[in-house]
Amino acid sequence: MWQVGKADYCAPLVVVQILAGILLGPGALLFAPVAGKRVGVHVAGRVRHWQPGESTVIGWLLQTKALIMIICANILLDKSIITSETFTALLQMAVGSTMLTVPVVSLMLRRATELTSRSA
């Protein structure tokens, strides 16, 4: 137990809270844009009757569009509409979601190639 002023803190609980803050904050920032793009493309794929898996690949490829957000966030920062902390969070989210694209899409395309070569 740690005592700060009149409050007692359990050391493992403090460590869990710190780890949760470190992992959940960026996780939420990455989940929102990835999920939004994937859901939107999935709906479009249903309406357009795309092949199974096509909308998923397109949704992941749209993650590279997050680099455009860096330009928009930079303009907002220059005009003092957002703070530097908000800019940093948006920058990390854009770079993180873009970095996810290559490993995820290459794995999906590799699996699709293996499935088509087995069926032929």
pLDDT 10s digits, 96-112: 888 888 888 888 888 87
Is 15 within a domain?
no
Which token pair is 64? 């590279």
Is 6 within a domain?
no
If pLDDT is split at 50, 70 and 90, which confidence band does 38 have? confident
- When divided into structural domains, the chain yields a total of 1
Residues in the chain: 120
For the stretch 76-98, pLDDT in tens is 999 999 999 889 888 888 888 88
Q: What is the pLDDT of residue 55?
A: 86
Is 18 within a domain?
no
Full domain range(s) for residue 49: 28-119
Pure H helices in the chain: 11-48, 54-61, 66-78, 84-119
Is 12 within a domain?
no
Is 19 within a domain?
no
Q: What is the pLDDT of residue 11?
A: 57
If pLDDT is split at 50, 70 and 90, which confidence band does 8 have? low
As a whole number of Å, the CA-based R_g of the chain is: 20
Q: What is the pTM of this model?
A: 0.61
Average the pLDDT over 33-54 and give the result.
87
> Cβ–Cβ contacts within 10 Å for residue 101, how many?
17
